[in-house]
Amino acid sequence: MGSGKHLELLLVHCQGELGHVLVGGAPEIPGATMLDKMNHINDVDDSLRRFVTFEPRANAAMSVNLLVKPTRPDADAGFIVLQADRAHPMSGSNCICVVTALLESGLVSMVEPETTVRLDTPAGLIVARARCENGHCIGVSLDNVASFAELLDHEIETFEWGRIKVDIAFGGVYYALVDVSQVGLTIAPENARGLAEAGIELKRLIAEQVKVSHPTLPGVDEIAYVMFRSNEPDGAVRTCTTLQPGRVDRSPCGTGSSANLATLHARGLLSVGEARISRSIIGREFLAEAIGVTEIGGRRAVLPRLTGRGYVYGRTELRVQNDDPFITGFALSDTWGPQVGLLK
């Protein structure tokens, strides 16, 4: 990034989770596909990611979505999720933020009462349908990529909790899904720090004991997040996704909800046409529906549809100055948590 550049961001949240959208000024990212571009950020040059996701320009509880020209002719726009640890192929809450930002900014023309937006992502094509009223998005439904269970009830050795069972599933990224009772906590705001620390420790242990590799997406070969879950009295699923270096998702987590649908379908507990409400640690909700089944890499997969809402609440501009002593950003454990050293 050259000195003197200005980066323009729309400030957006989805059900409380910050997913700002970088709409202007970003450098060109090399790569023939969106997956190639994501891998370039992760493997070759992560300067843009660090600039927009670390202090003093960012905080621990947020993502930045890089808008990119689509690499496929059937897409209206492309995006890559930038987080403190790396670039990720997909995120439901961030996708809802991107759709909302594209339509409310006029970058994609809004048609009321419904606008279809096709998004090129490293995980594949996402088809979004936005309900629109008086110039605003009042709801977004995403047809997510095929989601599948890799392992069910796989046992992991831990020092603190003994042997625990985890499900490993893909919902746009790979998840380890853990029933929260196994770590002696409940999904509640007062337990956010404990859940974050438990999730990051489990992520480390699971990475040592389980290897994954997506059958069709080269470079998608790590378990990105641990998502805790529990069943609510009304049939909803309480979710808490934990992210590096040690925080919890404020939203119900769209890709995690997709991964959870895949485990339910694999166990015969969910059929096509059925849905589950995913409820976040702060009580916000997504509707997660199984709209079809398919096969990917020999694995039976479910096709999820996720519905939620995003809100554009501001706009900001970042200036790139090469003599800035914090051009690569920094993070401190007082706010980023004790696992801050794990950040790349």
pLDDT tens-digit series, residues 154-189: 999 999 999 999 999 999 999 999 999 999 999 999
Yes or no: say if 130 and 140 are a contact pair by the CB < 8 Å rule: yes
Same domain, 198 and 303: yes
Same domain, 157 and 302: yes
pLDDT digits (tens, 9 = 90+) for 226-282: 999 999 999 999 999 999 988 999 999 999 999 999 999 999 999 999 999 999 999
Same domain, 293 and 336: no
**pTM for the whole structure:** 0.96
pLDDT of residue 2: 63
Same domain, 302 and 157: yes
Which amino acids are annotated catalytic? Answer: 91, 253
CATH of the domain at 61: 3.10.310.10
pLDDT of residue 202: 97
Same domain, 176 and 71: no
User: In this structure, is residue 138 part of a structural domain?
Assistant: yes
pLDDT of residue 339: 77
User: In this structure, is residue 21 part of a structural domain?
Assistant: yes
User: Which phi and psi (to 5°) does residue 66 adopt?
Assistant: -85, 115
pLDDT reading at 99 higher than 70:
yes
Same domain, 108 and 13: yes
Same domain, 275 and 292: yes
Q: How many CA atoms lie within 13 A of 169 on its CB side?
A: 29
Q: Give the residues across from 315 on adjacent strands.
A: 10
Same domain, 236 and 212: yes
pLDDT of residue 344: 63
* Structural domains counted in the chain: 2
Q: What is the DSSP string of 65-80?
A: EEEE--SSTT-SEEEE
Same domain, 28 and 135: yes
pLDDT reading at 341 higher than 80:
no
Same domain, 330 and 297: no
User: In this structure, is residue 38 part of a structural domain?
Assistant: yes
Same domain, 224 and 126: no
Same domain, 134 and 199: no
User: In this structure, is residue 328 part of a structural domain?
Assistant: yes
pLDDT reading at 14 higher than 90:
yes
The range of the structural domain enclosing residue 23 comes to: 6-143+311-342
User: In this structure, is residue 1 part of a structural domain?
Assistant: no
Assign 3-class secondary structure to 152-190: EEEEEEECCCEEEEEEEEECCCEEEEEEHHHHCCCCCHH
pLDDT digits (tens, 9 = 90+) for 18-74: 999 999 999 999 999 999 999 999 999 999 999 999 999 999 999 999 999 999 999
User: In this structure, is residue 166 part of a structural domain?
Assistant: yes
pLDDT of residue 340: 83
